Structure 1
Amino acid sequence: MYNFKNDYSEGAHPRILDKLIATNLVQQLGYGEDEYAQEAKAVLKEKLSNQAATIHFVSGGTQTNLLVISFLLRVHEAVISAKTGHIAANETGAIEATGHKVITTETIDGKLRPEDVAEVLAVYALAPHVVKPRIVYISNSTEIGTIYSKDEIKTLYKFCQSHQLLLYMDGARLGHALTAENNDLTLATISQYTDVFYIGGTKNGALLGEAIIFNKPELATDFDYAIKQKGAMLAKGRILSIQFLELFKDDLYFDLARKANTLAMRIATAVREKGYTFLTQSTTNQLFPILPKKIIERLSADYQFYIWKNIDADYAAIRLITSWATDEEKVTAFIKDLQEV
């Protein structure tokens, strides 16, 4: 049975494993002071076109969101998220457990727009009797496979600035967003039009790891204290930095994400040719085709995937995810089985 449930079923790209082995006995300082961390940060700053950026490496996405959001918020402040946002739907109340409210709002396609945020601000205007919205949290790509355009990010960022809000982007699948066929963003433009974001490695070829980017260094003052206090500072920080150095020194990161997107689009084309539609119009490695339940049942015999949403008595939306390591032959087999059933 082949797994289309997620994009982290495999370990790591062989080049990363080779680099970890090659450097295994080279002595380094701990806690992020290793030479690989300095080199990886220099490479990333070039990609960002932002030499002032402050960069930290941590091990996972939920950990990243918890660290950044709880650090930036004062005790009475809250974060705004789409209802589908990862911090609202999939992180076991991690943000709320730090004492901060996640204010959710419905969206059309998983993306927040200024009017969505404005509605929240209007509701939470009775100071000091309600929490104060301070951070706008977005994901790119979103949890339902859609991506932000440059104009959308720029417009949202300017709205946030005019309302004294911080814009924070979850980049768990940022590589897939940046290599989507309809993308017009770069790391440099994201660095220009967000306050903080992270580059996800876990879901794009790394064993584990995310790179937190504070685009404005003044926001990151003493952030290393927060990392340590919350148990997220690895003694063997080299394990994280070596991976990001390998992923970005020659754009391997983007090559891996592009492969995942390409395979997903092959499946998407086959779904459309069969006359089926999608829950969302995704151009990334997450697909949400709406299929007859009888076909879903037959495909489930050979493939693992999530049944995402029940549409009616006869149809449901499933989620299929491809990765940097997805077997092309399995994609071909899935398409053949879909066509035959």
Structure 2
Amino acid sequence: MYSFKNDYSEGAHPQILNALVETNLVQEEGYGEDQYSLQAAELIKKKMNDHNAAIHFLTGGTQTNMTAIAAFLRPHEAAVAAATGHINVHETGAIEATGHKVLAVPSGKDGKLTPAGIQSMLDAHPDEHMVKPKLVYISDTTENGAVYTKSELKAISAFCKRKNLYLYLDGARLGSALTSKANDLELSDLPKLVDAFYVGGTKNGALLGEALVICNNALKDDFRYLMKQKGAMLAKGRLTGIQFLELFRDNLFFDLAAHANTMAMKISGAIQAAGYTFLTPPVSNQIFPILPNDLLEELHQQFNFFDWEKVDENHSAARLVTSWSTKEEAVDAFIASLKEKVTR
């Protein structure tokens, strides 16, 4: 049974595995000070045209969000996120466990934040009797598969600067966002618009690993101390460094993300041709078709995927996720099964 449940069911791209094997017995410094991590950091800086950023390699998205947000905020400060945001619903209270409240803003089906939504949370927390909103958390792609346009991100960035707020971008699926046909952002735009962000490797071909990029000089001091304190400093830091070195040595990071998007668009095209709509427009490697419940039950007999949201008594939105390693024959099999069940 083929799975469209997530984009981390497989291990890693063979190029990454080969690099890990080939360098396995080379002795290196620990804790991210090895040659591979240093080279990978320089490559990422070059790709985004910002050589002043500080780059740290961590192992997973929740760990990165928790470590970064806890480091950036003072004890009385809080993070603002869309109600659908990963830190609000899918991280088991990791941010709150560090003593920082997550303030959830209702958002549309696309899961995006807007300046107006952020302002509503500022208005609701006007004085020292409440936590102080200080950091705005967004993700690209969002939890619902949408991507931020350059104008949208510029508007949020300008708002945050006016209000003296940090802007932090969760990039677990940044590769999918940047290679989406709906995207007009470049990697080099991000250091100009956000205070910190991370480049997701776990969901884009790496065994594990995220590259946290800190752009705001005020947030850089002592970050390695806080990484160590949170258990986020890997002794064998070479393991993440080598993987990001391979992802960014050429164009592998973007090629893998583009493949995931292409597979998702092929499925979404077939679903649209069959006459069905989507919870949000399909633009990334996460798509959310609205299908009859009986059809979903039949598809579940052959494929794994999540039932995402009930739409009405007879229809639900599913979540289908393609990855860097999704086989086109599996996509074709899904499409064939869909067509057979629809026309039967």
TM-score bucket (shorter structure): over 0.9
Please list, as runs of the form range in 1=range in 2, the aligned pairs for 1:96-175 lying within 5 A after superposition.
96-108=96-108, 109-125=110-126, 127-175=127-175
Please list, as runs of the form range in 1=range in 2, the aligned pairs for 1:67-106 lying within 5 A after superposition.
67-106=67-106
**Mapped partners of 2:218, 2:95: distance in 1:** 23
Please list, as runs of the form range in 1=range in 2, the aligned pairs for 1:128-277 lying within 5 A after superposition.
128-277=128-277
Number of matched pairs = 340
**Mapped partners of 2:334, 2:66: distance in 1:** 37
Aligned to 2:128, the other structure's residue is in SS state coil
Aligned to 2:317, the other structure's residue is in SS state strand
**Mapped partners of 2:251, 2:106: distance in 1:** 36
Aligned to 1:277, the other structure's residue is in SS state coil
RMSD between aligned alpha carbons?
0.6
The residue type equivalent to 1:213 in the other structure is V
How much has 1:106 moved relative to structure 2?
Answer: 0.9
Using the size of structure 2 for normalisation, the TM-score is: 0.98
Q: Which runs of 5+ in 1 are unaligned?
A: none
**Mapped partners of 2:253, 2:104: distance in 1:** 31
**Mapped partners of 1:45, 1:308: distance in 2:** 37
The residue type equivalent to 2:253 in the other structure is Y
**Mapped partners of 1:67, 1:211: distance in 2:** 13
**Mapped partners of 1:71, 1:282: distance in 2:** 35
How much has 1:313 moved relative to structure 2?
Answer: 1.3
Kept in 2, the 8 Å contact 1:179–1:258? The answer is yes
Q: Aligned residue for 2:325?
A: 325
How much has 1:232 moved relative to structure 2?
Answer: 1.0
Deviating above 4 A after TM superposition, structure 1's stretches of 4 or more consecutive aligned residues are none
The residue type equivalent to 1:172 in the other structure is A
Q: Which runs of 5+ in 2 are unaligned?
A: none
Using the size of structure 1 for normalisation, the TM-score is: 0.99
Aligned to 1:51, the other structure's residue is in SS state coil
**Mapped partners of 2:118, 2:269: distance in 1:** 35
Q: Aligned residue for 2:312?
A: 312
How much has 1:48 moved relative to structure 2?
Answer: 1.3
Deviation digits for residues 5-37 of structure 1, max 9, x if unmatched?
000000000000000001011110001110011
Kept in 2, the 8 Å contact 1:279–1:289? The answer is yes
Deviation digits for residues 59-89 of structure 1, max 9, x if unmatched?
0000000001011111110000000100001
Deviation digits for residues 80-116 of structure 1, max 9, x if unmatched?
0000100001000000111111000111121111111
**Mapped partners of 1:113, 1:186: distance in 2:** 20
**Mapped partners of 1:263, 1:48: distance in 2:** 27
The residue type equivalent to 1:170 in the other structure is D
Kept in 2, the 8 Å contact 1:10–1:325? The answer is yes
**Mapped partners of 1:313, 1:164: distance in 2:** 46
**Mapped partners of 2:181, 2:132: distance in 1:** 38
**Mapped partners of 2:198, 2:180: distance in 1:** 18
The residue type equivalent to 2:210 in the other structure is E
How much has 1:155 moved relative to structure 2?
Answer: 1.1
Kept in 2, the 8 Å contact 1:196–1:215? The answer is yes
Identical amino acids, percent of aligned pairs: 54
Kept in 2, the 8 Å contact 1:52–1:216? The answer is no
How much has 1:236 moved relative to structure 2?
Answer: 0.4
